[in-house]
Structures are given as structure tokens and as C-alpha cells.
Amino acid sequence: MPLPAEVIERIDEWMNDAVASEPDVPDAMQLATVGPDGRPTLRTVLLKQWSEDGLLFYTNYTSRKAQQLDATGFATVLLHWKSRERQLIIEGRVERATAAESDAYFASRPRGSQVGAWASLQSQSLPDRQTLVERVEAVEDQYEGAPVPRPAHWGGYRLLPDRVEFWQGMPSRLHVRDVHTDGDDGWTAETLYP
């Protein structure tokens, strides 16, 4: 089910606070996935959009993270704002964003990032740095004087939350943990011991 309005409002409030108070990259989130061997992996991606329909982030579809997302269909993300003593943990299913969403976001990226999406064989072995430099130069030459189109191997994922935890740090480690869970009877809310 879509996220309840009160959860979206609280995410909006926390994100706005983070933008105002965090010194760097308030939209950075850690993305946890699991490989076919059951081993978890973790990396940082950027949260680009959130709404009642979920959270959007973008990547190379041939990357290790994308392969794991496609294989399992689940992920967990963590946004941590140290200056506010806050964490937002969101778990759920993932699905690929629409081509139109991916096209629109790709068109808004800086040209260097667009070129990099073509040049990088993300998560594959790179023999030396010069190889990457040459791939970037080749893509720049190919699209000189023209827009860089979105490669088919690059696009977005939407995390469809079924569990959202708001963690607020408090003195004496008496933290506040408010959890919203989507179950058979819709969304429920509870507070957990810290």
C-alpha cells in the first residue's frame, strides 16, 4: 500500500531539516542488498525523489547492486543525519522505474555524469585508469555537439516501503524509535524500546 500521509509528512520534515543542517549530501543513503550467496552488501546512493509511491534512486543496471536488486526484489536503505541525531530506515520491495522517469532524471544530470554513465562498466574489473579515461574521451567525441541520450543499461529503481523506522537520538541512550509497518490490515504504527 502507498505510504500513509503522516509518514510522508515526517519524511518531508526530516529531509527539509537535513537540507538545512547537514553540511554535505543530505540525500545520501546507504543501500543494503543481498547476493545469491546470502551475503549482504552495502553502498551509498543518492535519494532523488520520495512520495507515497516510494523512494527513487538511479544506477547502472549491470552493476552488482542492480543484479542483486533484480534477483531478490528487496532492499533496505538508511539515511543518517549525524547533526540531527536521526536515522531513517526503510525496507521493502524494489522495482525498476519507468523509462520516462529514468529519461527525465538522466536529462537533468550534468553532462559529465551522463558521459560517465556510458563510459563506466560499473562493477566490472578495470585494468588501469587510462582505460576509463579513454572510454570517457570516446563517448565525449561520439556525442560532441549533441545531447547525450540515456543508455539502456542505466536507470532508476523505486523502493516500495513496507517498513519505515524513524530513529531519534536522545540523552542517556533513551532514543525514540517509531516504526510504521504495512501488513495485511494496512499500515500500523508502534514505538519500540531503544
Domain containing 17 — which CATH number?
2.30.110.10
* pLDDT band with cut points at 50, 70 and 90 for residue 22: confident
Asked whether residue 129 is assigned to any structural domain, the reply reads no
63-120 pLDDT per residue, tens: 999 999 999 999 999 999 998 999 999 999 999 999 999 999 999 999 999 999 999 9
Asked whether residue 136 is assigned to any structural domain, the reply reads no
Q: Report the number of distinct structural domains present in the chain.
A: 1
Asked whether residue 125 is assigned to any structural domain, the reply reads no
Answer with the residue of higher pLDDT: 161 or 23.
161
| Alpha helices, DSSP H, located in the chain | 5-21, 64-72, 99-108, 111-119, 129-142
Average pLDDT, the chain: 95
Which positions are catalytic? 173
The pLDDT assigned to 139 comes to 97
Mean pLDDT of 170-185: 96
- Cell readout for 100 is 520516462
Asked whether residue 157 is assigned to any structural domain, the reply reads yes
Mean pLDDT of 139-143: 97
Mean pLDDT of 116-138: 95
Cell 537533468 appears where? Answer: 108
* Domain that residue 91 falls in: 5-109+152-192
Share of the chain above pLDDT 90, in %: 92
Mean pLDDT of 157-168: 98
Cell 527513487 appears where? Answer: 56
Asked whether residue 119 is assigned to any structural domain, the reply reads no
Asked whether residue 13 is assigned to any structural domain, the reply reads yes
Annotate 175-193 with b (16+ C-beta within 10 A) or e (fewer). Answer: beeeebebeeeebeeeeee
Question: CA of 45: how far to CAs of 11, 77, 116, 141, in Å?
Answer: 17, 9, 16, 29
